[in-house]
Amino acid sequence: MLNYNHLYYFHITAAEGSLSAAAAKLGVKQSTISEQLRTLERTLHQALLERTSTGMRLTPAGQIAYEHTTAMFRAGDRLLQALGRAADAAPRSLRVGISGAVARATSTDFLLPLFALDECTPTISTGETLDLLRHLRSNDLDLVLCEVEPPEAAVHQLHRAVITHIPLLAIAPIDLDPGPDWQDVGLVQYRASSTFRFEVEAFLEHRGLRPRIVGEADDPFLLVEVAARGRYVVIVPRAVARDALAAGRVRTLAQVETVHAGVHALYHDGTSSGLARRAIEKLIATARANAE
């Protein structure tokens, strides 16, 4: 059977990167740690760490083991926090991962409700959707917000909710007046990997619009500047265009109703005593209020 102490010594050694650093942190001799690690490797029938000129390095099996021990010891911290914390102890944490596309497509207003959750300290990080889902499955995150619902295989046993769809606006410089079919203007399109690419193509086809595609970019804030200063048409999330519209730097040509692009929430049921569900409810309420 696996021994908790063996796993803990391995986890600290992997995190510290050397036996000497791990021994100093644990307050034991290096020989003690070495023996614990050898026992664990014999139990698992796998080499987990290998010596290098600069310390210890995880083997492929060690990397897998470290992912599991990270989840284990973080779960232990949360257990102590939930059952043993004093009344005046630090509030529970809610670890939220946001895909880069959602971060670029939404305004600060969208995330503000997270900071209003009672007895909760949100920790927000940004990354690629697949990386965030991996961290969610390993319990390194409590909630993931991404721009499109991942395939069923990627979200097995996770709970899902649609928070909002992301409305897009076609904008242009104040004095730019495109013709009926937009053939006389240039449009900067999203790259093929962007969720918004499909939405823009569907909009153009539905309206019978045929602008010149002069380039591709994924940053909506850059696209706003391209429209304001480069005299091109762009299609960006309404929240991103808001300030430029209010300042009179651009004008709206059309509103683009989205079908697939939105903010999707994924989480484990029961995470942090329902904090993830409470966060989703607040985000949905705010999104609906902003849409009115």
CATH number of the CATH domain containing 36: 1.10.10.10
Q: Are residues 25 and 154 in the same domain?
A: no
pLDDT tens across 80-91, in order? Answer: 666 665 444 555
Higher pLDDT, 30 or 275: 30
Q: Mean pLDDT, to the nearest integer, of 154-173?
A: 83
pLDDT at position 154 over 80: no
Of the pLDDT bands very low, low, confident and very high (cuts 50, 70, 90), residue 282 is: confident
CATH number of the CATH domain containing 121: 3.40.190.10
pLDDT at position 273 over 60: no
Nearest to 169 by CA among 244, 241, 109: 241
Q: Are residues 143 and 283 in the same domain?
A: yes
Q: Are residues 97 and 156 in the same domain?
A: yes
Q: How many domains does the chain have?
A: 3
The pLDDT, as a whole number, for residue 87 is: 45
Q: In percent, how much of the chain has pLDDT > 90?
A: 31
Q: Are residues 42 and 98 in the same domain?
A: no
The pLDDT, as a whole number, for residue 134 is: 82
Q: Are residues 142 and 250 in the same domain?
A: no
Q: Are residues 152 and 275 in the same domain?
A: yes
Domain stop point among 83, 103, 120:
83
Domain that holds residue 49: 4-83
Q: Are residues 283 and 145 in the same domain?
A: yes
pLDDT tens across 42-82, in order? Answer: 999 999 999 887 788 889 998 889 888 888 887 777 676 66
